Amino acid sequence: MKQGRFSDEQITGILSEMRAGVPVKDLCRKHNISDKTIYNWRKKFGGMQGVEVRRLKDLEQTVARLERIVAKQALELQAAQEIIRGKW
The tens digit of pLDDT for each residue in 5-31 reads 888 888 989 999 998 999 999 999 999
Closest CA to 40 of 68, 86, 6: 6
- Greatest extent of the chain over all pairs of C-alpha atoms, in Å: 69
d(CA 62, CA 64): 5
Q: Would you list the domain boundaries of the chain?
A: 8-85
Q: What is the pLDDT of residues 31-87, one digit of tens each?
A: 999 999 999 999 988 878 878 888 888 999 999 999 999 999 999 999 999 889 886
pTM: 0.61
Identify the pLDDT of residue 28.
Answer: 93
Residue 22 to residues 19, 27, 29, 63, 88: CA-CA distances in angstroms? 7, 7, 12, 36, 67
Identify the pLDDT of residue 66.
Answer: 98
Flag whether pLDDT at 1 surpasses 60. Answer: no
Residue 51 to residues 9, 10, 61, 87: CA-CA distances in angstroms? 8, 12, 16, 52
